């Protein structure tokens, strides 16, 4: 079909280009983004007007990251009889996404051709927006070589107006606290990322924008001498936020992804001090040999790297030897001890860790203990390990620095772009509903937003 229609499309493109050249002198095309300033989990509408009817055009998004890399997405469209292209209503016939995808210009972003290998896009300074330039170009081929017909700038924010950001360095605990606007007090989350290096704040900023005090905890920087000292670090962090004047002390939950979910399981199962109201574990991992620190656990893990699987691109997957490790119950957190509601979010194409099998094991243990009613599960076919806030780009494989050795590898996370994007959007909405149910829905909760 493409070989038949391609000459006709090229002819239409040339005709439209001539007509556009004439039109731009009189009534130039207009590109609008509504709203042009929004939170990252909010949808926008992109509209192009004043095109010739039936005109092939390409919508292109471009973002220059804080790491100095360029990311792009694009879709090929044909204007309707009114000379209008609506990304919300119209079909993309090709590009980095196809079909009717209102947010495809964001979630299908990828590094521009010629970029470094293994990149991952993450917001570093949450006090500034993610700026995305969206432009419209004539034609479907070689569009980058043409001057844009029109363009507009979108601001995508993780931090809503009025959210407070506070650096925490107290009692040996480090992290960043985000407080929603309003007098409060508010329900709260202890937010923990995975085994990557560095403190990430953007999810906590977004949670605060949705009405939760959120503490993004830096927990891998310190060299804890023993498992007991490390455990007390987390208990201290929990107490710091629980005792904050703008926090409802009995409405504190834990959210963790990957290694952060390991911490959530471990604290909730064994601590006599930490009693979270609920926990959310994304890409669940309950592997934590007793008596070891997190870094010591990574050292044990690294001894199995020779069993790792490498795909056709030489990207490293831990899933295969992860199955061997969690097969021994003594290596795992006793999740059957947990007594609070929990939500497990997993991608069925996770190539980093056996998270689906972990979720099955958690369900079995809770069922055997008569606690199955505490468990909610979300499993997404085609989604990978790195389940991020909505409309974030999908990263199938990225560079990763191994703890202890500091060796750089490219880890295979898994997932397929469209399915993974759908999972991110759906899981965020359902996670917020879960948190609303367990942290807000109570006569004792009287947060004032």
Residue 5 in tokens:
């229609």
375: Cα within 13 Å, side-chain hemisphere: 25
Partners of 344 in beta bridges = 281, 377
Residues 191, 202: Cα–Cα separation, whole Å:
10
Q: Could you say which of 138, 204, 258, 392 is catalytic?
A: 258
- Angle between helix 294-302 and 259-270 (nearest 10): 130
CB atoms within 10 A of CB 141: 15
Residue 83 in tokens:
């000379």
DSSP letter string over 396-417?
SEEEEEPTTT--EEEEE-B--H
Residues 250, 276: Cα–Cα separation, whole Å:
8
Q: Could you say which of 350, 376, 394, 427 is catalytic?
A: 350
CA 56 vs. chain centroid, Å, equals 33
- Angle between helix 227-242 and 259-270 (nearest 10): 80
Q: Where are the alpha helices (DSSP H) in 287-416?
A: 294-302, 319-326, 355-368
Q: What SS3 state is found at 70?
A: strand
Do 136 and 29 meet the contact criterion of CB atoms below 8 Å apart?
Answer: yes
Token look-up 């064994």 returns 270
Tell me, yes or no, if 63 is annotated catalytic.
no
Could you tell me which of 113, 154, 104 has the C-alpha nearest to residue 134?
154
Judged on CB neighbours under 10 Å (0-12, 13-18, 19+), 236 is middle
Residues 201, 216: Cα–Cα separation, whole Å:
6
Could you tell me which of 27, 25, 43 has the C-alpha nearest to residue 35?
43
Q: Could you say which of 60, 137, 286, 385 is catalytic?
A: 385
Residue 358 in tokens:
């972990």
Residues 138, 77: Cα–Cα separation, whole Å:
10
Tell me, yes or no, if 258 is annotated catalytic.
yes
Token look-up 């007509």 returns 19
Tell me, yes or no, if 70 is annotated catalytic.
no
Residue 21 in tokens:
């050249």
DSSP letter string over 203-214?
HHHHHHHTT-EE
Cis peptide before 185 (omega within 30 of 0): yes
Active site residues: 258, 350, 385
């Amino acid at each position: 079909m493409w070989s038949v229609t391609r000459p006709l499309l090229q002819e239409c493109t040339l005709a439209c280009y001539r007509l556009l050249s004439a039109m731009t002198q009189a009534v130039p095309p207009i590109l609008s983004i509504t709203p042009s300033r929004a939170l990252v989990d909010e949808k926008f509408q992109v509209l192009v007007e004043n095109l010739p009817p039936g005109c092939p055009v390409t919508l292109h998004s471009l973002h220059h990251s804080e790491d100095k890399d360029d990311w792009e997405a694009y879709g090929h469209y044909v204007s309707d009889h009114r000379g209008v292209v609506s990304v919300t209503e119209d079909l993309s016939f090709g590009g980095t996404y196809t079909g009717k995808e209102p947010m495809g210009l964001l979630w299908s972003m990828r590094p521009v051709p010629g970029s470094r290998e293994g990149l991952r896009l993450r917001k570093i300074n949450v006090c500034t927006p993610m700026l995305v330039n969206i432009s419209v170009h004539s034609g479907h081929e070689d569009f980058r070589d043409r001057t844009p017909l029109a363009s507009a700038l979108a601001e995508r924010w993780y931090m809503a107006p009025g959210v407070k950001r506070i650096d925490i360095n107290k009692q040996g605990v480090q992290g960043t606290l985000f407080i929603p606007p309003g007098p409060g007090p508010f329900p709260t989350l202890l937010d923990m990322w995975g085994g990557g290096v560095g403190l990430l704040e953007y999810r906590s900023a977004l949670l605060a924008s949705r009405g939760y005090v959120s503490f993004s905890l830096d927990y891998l920087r310190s060299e804890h001498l023993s498992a007991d000292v490390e455990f007390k670090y987390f208990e201290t962090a929990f107490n710091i936020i629980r005792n904050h004047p703008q926090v409802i002390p009995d409405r504190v939950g834990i959210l963790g992804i990957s290694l952060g979910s390991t911490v959530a399981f471990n604290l909730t199962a064994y601590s006599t001090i930490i009693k979270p109201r609920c926990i959310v574990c994304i890409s669940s991992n309950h592997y934590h040999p007793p008596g070891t620190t997190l870094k010591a656990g990574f050292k044990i893990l690294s001894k199995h790297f020779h069993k790792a699987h490498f795909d056709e691109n030489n990207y490293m997957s831990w899933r295969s030897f992860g199955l061997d490790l969690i097969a021994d119950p003594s290596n795992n957190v006793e999740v059957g001890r947990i007594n609070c509601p929990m939500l497990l979010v997993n991608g069925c194409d996770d190539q980093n860790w056996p998270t689906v099998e972990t979720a099955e094991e958690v369900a079995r243990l809770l069922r055997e203990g008569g606690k199955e009613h505490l468990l909610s599960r979300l499993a997404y076919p085609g989604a990978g390990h790195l389940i991020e806030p909505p409309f974030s780009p999908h990263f199938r494989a990225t560079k990763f620095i191994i703890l202890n050795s500091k060796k750089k590898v490219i880890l295979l996370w898994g997932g397929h772009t469209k399915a993974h994007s759908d999972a991110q959007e759906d899981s965020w909405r359902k996670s917020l509903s879960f948190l609303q149910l367990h942290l807000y829905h109570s006569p004792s909760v009287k947060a004032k937003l």
